[in-house]
């Protein structure tokens, strides 16, 4: 398991300053993803979905939702949250890779690319391209630009907290994160950042035609979302 997967498997309290933050975070992401669902018959994959506490909002708008999560404890909590749900499947990264080609109308990968090396991202883009149905949409969200990403994320969190009733918890959360594994991993393992042109070039080389969306999924508008269609083979 990569260090970042390990981090996300256990250290939720550092990332979400409290339960309200976590739930508002996932509700907004689910609402934003739902807006990309093309039809009630759509098959949707959320790759690196995290805790997905509002997946029911997405599944109400589609036929099937596959939640793929590499972190085993997060996956276990997803399975407990949606036990035996007729339209939700919780799977590992390996299980996604083994799914039949052209399985999905919509694939979302939000806030995952920064934890991948460029080689890992390229491998995932190849997998996503194979899993998309012809004409399907791949939404690559929360791409972190190279400059001033940390202050922008801090400011976005404070604003998000102020707008949703957890400003002081967000402020304390920012102090706590300075002493957390997050910063240690950021220094040792690193995070991947991309300019708009760099990620567009990477997507192009992986066989996608892509454009930047008008707004990012979620609360941090200094990051970027890209709407990608696979070129025909
Ligand atoms: C910030 S969370 C994003 C969760 C959710 N998509 C969201 O936007 O809140 C990052 C996710 O990336 C996943 N992740 C990190 N490194 C990964 C890797 N090498 N392969 C697959 N998933 C990875 C983690 O397991 C975690 O679920």
CATH number at residue 55: 3.40.50.150
Centre of ligand 1 from the C-alpha of residue 23, in Å: 17
Query: Which of ligand 1's atoms lies nearest the C-alpha of 52?
Result: 5
Residue 65 φ/ψ, nearest 5 degrees: -125, 120
The residue with greater pLDDT, 1 or 229, is: 229
Domains of the chain: total = 1
Least confident segment among 58-72, 103-117, 146-160, 188-202: 146-160
Residue-number span of the structural domain to which 117 is assigned: 3-230
Tokens 């969190």 sit on residue? 157
pTM of the full structure: 0.95
Tokens 């949606």 sit on residue? 82
Residue-averaged pLDDT of the chain: 94
User: Hey, whose CA ends up nearest to atom 17 of ligand 1?
Assistant: 5
* 224-230/208-212 β-pairing: antiparallel
Centre of ligand 1 from the C-alpha of residue 71, in Å: 8
Other Cβ atoms closer than 10 A to 83: 9
Q: Residue 183 — very low, low, confident or very high, per pLDDT cuts 50/70/90? A: confident
**pLDDT score recorded for residue 11:** 60
């Amino acid at each position: 398991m990569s260090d970042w997967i390990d981090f996300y498997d256990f250290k939720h309290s550092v990332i979400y300053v409290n339960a309200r933050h976590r739930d508002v975070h996932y509700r907004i992401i689910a609402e934003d993803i739902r807006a990309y669902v093309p039809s009630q018959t759509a098959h949707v994959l959320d790759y690196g979905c995290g805790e997905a506490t509002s997946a029911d909002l997405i599944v109400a708008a589609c036929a099937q939702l596959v939640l793929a999560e590499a972190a085993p404890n997060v996956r276990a909590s997803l399975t407990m949250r949606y036990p035996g749900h007729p339209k939700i499947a919780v799977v590992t990264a390996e299980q996604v890779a083994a799914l039949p080609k052209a399985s999905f109308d919509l694939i979302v990968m939000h806030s995952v690319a920064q934890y991948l090396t460029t080689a890992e991202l390229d491998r995932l883009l190849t997998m996503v391209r194979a899993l998309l149905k012809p004409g399907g949409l791949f939404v690559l969200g929360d791409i972190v630009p190279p400059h001033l990403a940390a202050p922008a994320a801090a400011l976005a969190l404070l604003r998000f907290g102020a707008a949703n009733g957890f400003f002081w918890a967000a402020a304390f959360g920012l102090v706590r994160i300075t002493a957390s594994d997050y910063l240690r991993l950021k220094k040792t393992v690193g995070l991947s950042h991309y300019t708009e042109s760099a990620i567009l070039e990477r997507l192009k080389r992986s066989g996608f035609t892509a454009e930047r969306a008008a707004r990012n999924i979620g609360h941090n508008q200094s990051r970027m979302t890209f709407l990608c269609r696979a070129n025909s083979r």
